[in-house]
Chains A and B, each alone.
Chain A
Amino acid sequence: MPSPRAALLAVGAQRPAPRRPRSGPYTGVPRVRVAVEEGPGDEGEFVTARLRLLEGFVAQSELADCAHLALQWLGEVLGIPQSICLVRPSDETSLFVIGTYGLAGSAVSRFSVSLEDWGNPLVTSFANRKEFFFPAPHSAADRKRRPGTPFEDSAFHVLPLGVSGFSEDAFGLLLVGGSAPFRPELHWFTNVFSQKLDQILRQQALADGDRKQGRERSLLYNIINAVTDPILLTDAEGRLLIANARALTLFTASEEESEGRRGAVRMNNMLLSSALSSKAIEETGATRRELLLVNPVDGSDLVFELLSTVTEDARQGSGVVSILRNVTDLRRASEEIEENYRKMRIAEVQARAESDRLNLIIDSVADPIVVTDAGGATSLMNEPAERLFTIPAQASEIEQRWVQANDAHFSSFIAGMLVSADQRRVGEIGLSDPKTGEAMPVEAIAGKVLSEHGELTAVVTILHDRREAIEKALLYEQLKQASDELERKIQAATADIAQQNELLRRQAIELEQASALKSQFLANMSHEFRTPLNAMLGYTSMLLQGVAGPVELPVKRQLGRIESNGRHLLTIINEILDISRIEAGRMPLQLSTFKIPDLVHEVKSELEPIIMRSKLMVTLQLPRDLVPISSDRQKVKQIILNLLSNALKFTHHGSVTIAARRNVRERTVTLSVTDTGIGIAAADQDRIFEDFRQLDNSPTRAYGGTGLGLSICRRLAQMLGGRISVQSQVGKGSTFIVTLPTKGRK
């Protein structure tokens, strides 16, 4: 037995051996013609001829060549002119020509004998191994009995070819032409030829068997190679006999392979033989065990399950067939499965904890929560929901009815939710408190729970009792009404106030208008007063001047009275006009820059006639550093004029002093008029600036004047941004002080 590998390779590479064509030229036949020519009668020559035939046979291994040689020998040595040899190939049911002699090729080419044609005398001969002689036919009946052969009407012998004693069946027929009787040499020939053909046929059968076996082995090996698990056949000593491709990579390595790879292979062989030896000796039959090997390619660990079976072979002794199943992945998969299972267990525990917690949460929520499956059936509800939707033990009939009504209401809400496409739905359901039957409107907030494929798995609904909210809304409404009422009242009050304000505003306007009218009236009146007074004063003046002729002295005195009273009246009218002008705002400021001393001199000179008459000493104290002031010159003059007039009027003895002083820090100028007159009592000092106020109010008072002078002065001083005050002692005199800003207001 060659090494397994070599043997299998030989099988895989087997090709059909080259064969000579049957019809090809024959060159291997020994030359026997000379002997034939020497005549058959000679015993010694015949022996020589027989030897030559046998020698010729030795070299023959092909049926056709052998038949050719034999039939040629038959013709040349035994003088048989025509002959045909037929053989039954294995697995065939006909006899086919393998060689002819002395016959035309065309006559032989289609000749064959079907063994199923039992009426054919040739078949009888073949089946019974019986020789026949067919003489040349004498009649048509004779001819009919004869089998169809290339001999046609010629006589011929039929001799079965077969090996006596070895096999009972013939394997062919020899047809020999000629009417000559059987000769013993022919029997010898048949015998020898049969043996030779039998040998060739056996060899062919053997070769066919070998080929078939080789094909089968190749197929088997291909199958083995196709198996991804390593398969090995080892002999009793543990030597490797057969290995498939997968096994070869594990257990063989050529010299060219790397040292690491060869080391791995050595290690694998060691591991395998130790596994097999311990097993093979001790046990028989299939066993399973685990075998750890090294992957020579990358050095990784490989786990195999070793399946060994002891085989008994008569010729080759016992061996061990081992199948290694790679369970590395399996092991890994198993470990993974184990790990996954462990994780699953953990996840399950967590999920359960989560579920417990969820239940706890759901139960702790005061609002009822109901989870409904996709079919609308309730799958979970918390305790508050149970109170609404489940019938308690020992429930009264009415309680049951309330619960059923609640359930119906809720179901219809859920049904609506299930058919709608909405992801969420908020609605109101009119439930009832099962304990009391009290109406319990709830707000239902439902949300769909979808699986990751978008399929509806559940609907979660939270119900919120709206009674409190409604109660609150009611309270709120009442509060709002109260608030609205209050607001209305406030608005009414505000409107009232606004109305009153409007009224006041109108009154103010009316007052203002009245005041303006009064001022206008006074202005008009003063004009109307002046016109006649103008004529009166004019004519009086003319009379006094004697325009119309000389006037007697007493008349002149009386005319003087008319004139002075007329003038007094004019002063009164003028002052009334001033007050009304100031009050009507029709006395605008006309600012200019002027010097106080100039103004004081001007006033003094205007009043010079009165000063002369009064015989009083009028002194001016005007410092040089007085700066010009910016104010209304006319109004300042009017104040000074008034104060000086008063001083002269109420002073009988002594002097009048006009002084001016600058107050740098206050940016003011102070003008004072001091007299040594009758003076004013402290209690009266505030009243002297009031309208129409003269201290002596009696009809027989000693001093003239309207009583409006100081009042006008006060108003004018205020208009100019200043003030006026008095310091006085009864019997000693008075000092009037006017303070004005150096820069008047606009």
Chain B
Amino acid sequence: MTKPDRPRVLLVDDYPDAREMYTEYLEFSGFDVVEAGNGMEALQRAVDTSPDIILMDLSLPVMDGWEATRRLKADQRTALIPVVALTGHALAGISEGAKKAGCDAFVTKPCLPEDLVREIRKILDGPPSSPLRKARRSGKHAKTS
């Protein structure tokens, strides 16, 4: 059961154990979680469910996370949703590529579930002046009213 005040997280990861673990912890921590196993699926879910934030693994089958992020940012309906890149790759250039693709934050795996939640909360409760946050809030209100 989803409650309307629970922030919705779109979790994109092709590794089921990790996906399940984060989903369990995020729901435990008070988030509404929508899952996707590849980039293509992520695009569809993002449009369907209008998440508050997207956690995007970069190495994905069918469509990788960079391409999916670019498409999300290019689509008016999903452009304002913050995207947090989540990857086990720690080689230099990865985060650069992710920023270029449109990711708003970058988190390196392994990442403990509580650390990830902290990161998500940081973005969602970002400074009120953040244009991203304002837009999200106004969109949310429009939808609920």
- Listed in ascending order, the chain A residues whose CB lies under 8 Å from chain B are 523, 526-528, 530-535, 537-539, 541-542, 545, 547, 570, 574, 577, 581, 586-588
Contacts and interface: CB of A to CB of B under 8 A. Distances in A.
B24 A547 contact: yes
Interface in B53-111: 59, 88-93, 109-111
Contacts of B89: 523, 527
Contacts of A587: 92
B21 interface: yes
Contact of B92 (A532, A545, A547, A581): A581
Contacts of A527: 59, 88-90
Interface string B4-20: 00000000000101100
Contacts of A570: 110
A539 B114 CA distance: 11
B92 A542 contact: no
A527 B14 CA distance: 14
Question: Number of contact residues on B: which range applies?
Answer: 20 to 34
B56 to A, nearest CB: 15
Nearest to B15: A531
Contact of B113 (A526, A528, A541, A577): A541
A570 to B, nearest CB: 6
A526 B90 contact: yes
Contact of A535 (B21, B28, B90): B21
Per CB-CB distance, the 7 closest pairs between chain A and chain B, nearest first, are: A534-B110, A530-B88, A527-B88, A535-B17, A538-B21, A534-B109, A541-B112
Interface in B1-44: 15, 17-18, 21-22, 24-25, 28
Contact of A539 (B15, B21, B93): B21
A537 B91 contact: no
A547 B88 contact: no
Given A531-B109, A534-B111, A535-B17, A586 B28 contact: no
Contacts of A581: 91-92
B26 to A, nearest CB: 11
Contact of A538 (B91, B92, B110): B110
A538 B93 contact: no
Nearest to B29: A547
A537 B88 contact: no
A4 B109 CA distance: 165
Contact of A547 (B15, B18, B25): B25
A528 B110 CA distance: 11
Nearest to B108: A530
Contacts of B111: 534, 538
B91 A586 contact: yes
Contact of A537 (B90, B92, B110): B110
B92 A541 contact: no
Contacts of B21: 535, 538-539, 542
A538 B25 contact: yes
A535 B92 contact: no
A545 B90 CA distance: 27
B96 to A, nearest CB: 10
Contacts of A541: 112-114
Given A523-B91, A531-B88, A587-B92, A547 B109 contact: no
A526 B21 CA distance: 20
Contacts of B88: 526-528, 530-531, 534
A415 B93 CA distance: 95
A324 B15 CA distance: 156
A619 to B, nearest CB: 31
A586 B17 contact: no
A158 B59 CA distance: 191
A586 B92 contact: yes
Given A527-B88, A541-B113, A581-B91, 5 more contacts: A538-B25, A538-B110, A542-B28, A542-B113, A586-B92
5 contacts: A530-B110, A538-B110, A541-B113, A545-B114, A547-B24
Nearest to B114: A541
B98 to A, nearest CB: 15
A538 B15 CA distance: 14
B81 to A, nearest CB: 24
A527 B110 CA distance: 9
A539 B110 CA distance: 12
B92 A534 contact: no
A587 B17 CA distance: 31
B29 to A, nearest CB: 9
B137 to A, nearest CB: 29
A586 B112 CA distance: 26
Contacts of B24: 542, 547
Nearest to B28: A547
B9 to A, nearest CB: 16
A588 B24 CA distance: 38
